[in-house]
Amino acid sequence: MGRRHSIFFFATLAISLAGAVLILPRDDAESAGMVGTEVCRLCHPDRYMSYAASIHGKKVVPGNPDAQDGCESCHGPGAAHVEHKGEKGVGIFAFGKRLSDAREKSGRCLRCHEEFRTLASWDMGRHRREDVSCDNCHSIHSGGPKNLKNTLPDLCWSCHRIVRAEGNKQSHHPVKERRVSCVDCHNQHGGFGPKMIKADAVNELCYNCHADKRGPHFWEHPPVEENCRTCHTPHGSNHSKLLVQKPPQLCQSCHNAIGHPGSIYTNFETFRGSAASGKNRMFARSCLNCHSNIHGSIGPSTRGKRFVR
């Protein structure tokens, strides 16, 4: 049986089973191995209906698959697939997890999407290096926003489970409350910053929301100027204000001055002088009870230098 006759035979068989009307592909499409979307629809009605309801199935959008070769815009010519009686993954490009290479799958998407501004740094992103492909997060058949397979942050948490656990700690950014999204801080398609953040440095990203910490300050606290993550963890902490440790332990990782002897682990009466002798100053906010302007001070006196209130 010749190639043309094989295509016609299996297409006719599908019609008899589905009771549908086949729009036969044009001669020039047949010569290129194309069979047309209607042939795909006969065997895959559910997939076709989801595709037709998605943004990719709207012919009015310029450059959309439906404005080109339909299903075969992404899956390739379907003639060989029809000849093999629709055998899974045979004669056609499939997007299954084990059927195609991650870079090859993304390459199919990038044929149309490579000029998008958000994809300009895809090749530099961690997701690409870890063999994450577009279809891990998106589906061409999805009718949801951005063709995502799930809503945020659940989609990100399906892989980043440690981040999800941190987000459930008592101090956290309101991600699970849906007031902040993962993509507010990270560019999931890659970027120049560390951890694919939407800034050149960690501090610049934090200042987008915490502008009051930017300064300028007359007295700068060196770790604040260097990196916010010296004292804070971004995804969640069991200490208030997303601190990596509880004061005074956090403060004493850098400070051990004569004025406040570093003996808190054995003796909490750490202050000298008649006013403070015998009194515990390590309760509640600990060092921050007095040094409340810890991010920086504008006071020109020595009080400002010590970041006290």
* pLDDT tens for each residue of 7-36: 444 444 443 433 333 334 444 544 468 999
Q: Which of 160-164, 192-196, 261-265, 296-300 has the lowest mean pLDDT?
A: 261-265
Residue 39 has pLDDT above 60, yes or no: yes
Helix, strand, coil share of the chain (percent; to 5): 40, 5, 55
| Distance of alpha carbon 18 from alpha carbon 76, whole angstroms | 24
Amino acid at 160: H
Q: What is the pLDDT of residue 247?
A: 87
What's the CA angle centered on 242, arms 236 and 243, to 5 degrees? 125
Q: What is the pLDDT of residue 276?
A: 52
Residues 78 and 13 placed together within one structural domain of the fold:
yes
Q: Print the domain residue range for 135.
A: 102-151
| Distance of alpha carbon 173 from alpha carbon 124, whole angstroms | 27
For residue 38, which phi and psi values (nearest 5 degrees)? -65, -35
- Residue 209, in any domain of the structure: no
Q: How confident is the model at residue 136 (pLDDT cuts 50, 70, 90)?
A: very high
- Residue 23, in any domain of the structure: yes
Task: Say if residue 248 is preceded by a cis peptide, omega within 30 of 0.
Answer: yes
Q: What is the pLDDT of residue 71?
A: 92
Q: What is the pLDDT of residue 181?
A: 95
Residue 229 has pLDDT above 80, yes or no: yes
Q: What is the pLDDT of residue 88?
A: 82
Q: How confident is the model at residue 258 (pLDDT cuts 50, 70, 90)?
A: low
- Residue 79, in any domain of the structure: yes
pTM of structure: 0.77
Q: What is the pLDDT of residue 13?
A: 43
Residue 242 has pLDDT above 50, yes or no: yes
For residue 257, which phi and psi values (nearest 5 degrees)? -85, 160
Residues 223 and 309 placed together within one structural domain of the fold:
yes
The rounded percent of the chain whose pLDDT value lies above 70 is 78
Residues 16 and 75 placed together within one structural domain of the fold:
yes
Q: What is the pLDDT of residue 28?
A: 52
Q: How confident is the model at residue 42 (pLDDT cuts 50, 70, 90)?
A: very high
Q: How confident is the model at residue 120 (pLDDT cuts 50, 70, 90)?
A: confident
Residue that wins the pLDDT comparison between 22 and 114 = 114
| Distance of alpha carbon 205 from alpha carbon 192, whole angstroms | 13
Cβ–Cβ under 8 Å, residues 147 and 74: no
- Residue 135, in any domain of the structure: yes
- Residue 294, in any domain of the structure: yes
Instruction: With residue 150 as reference, give the H or E element that holds it.
Output: none
Residues 180 and 122 placed together within one structural domain of the fold:
no
Residues 54 and 106 placed together within one structural domain of the fold:
no
Residues 79 and 21 placed together within one structural domain of the fold:
yes
Q: Which of 143, 172, 204 is the last residue of a domain?
A: 204
Number of structural domains, the chain?
4
Q: How confident is the model at residue 263 (pLDDT cuts 50, 70, 90)?
A: very low
What's the CA angle centered on 127, arms 159 and 153, to 5 degrees? 40
User: Average per-residue pLDDT in the chain?
Assistant: 81
Q: What is the pLDDT of residue 255?
A: 79
Q: What is the pLDDT of residue 238?
A: 95
- Residue 15, in any domain of the structure: yes
Cβ–Cβ under 8 Å, residues 105 and 95: yes
Amino acid at 91: G
Residues 147 and 165 placed together within one structural domain of the fold:
no
- Residue 289, in any domain of the structure: yes
The alpha helices in the chain, defined as continuous H runs, are 3-18, 27-31, 37-43, 45-53, 72-75, 79-83, 102-113, 126-129, 154-157, 161-167, 182-185, 202-207, 222-226, 249-252, 302-305
Residue 141 has pLDDT above 90, yes or no: no
CA–chain centroid gap for 199, Å, is 15
CA separation, residue 160 to residues 118, 135, 137 (Å): 21, 17, 13
133: left (phi over 0), alpha (psi -120 to 50) or beta: beta
Residues 288 and 244 placed together within one structural domain of the fold:
yes
Q: Which of 176, 204, 232 is the last residue of a domain?
A: 204
Strand partners, 243: 232
Residues 239 and 289 placed together within one structural domain of the fold:
yes
Q: How confident is the model at residue 101 (pLDDT cuts 50, 70, 90)?
A: confident
| Distance of alpha carbon 107 from alpha carbon 113, whole angstroms | 9
Closest C-alpha among 195, 173, 178, 177 to residue 186: 195
- Residue 90, in any domain of the structure: no
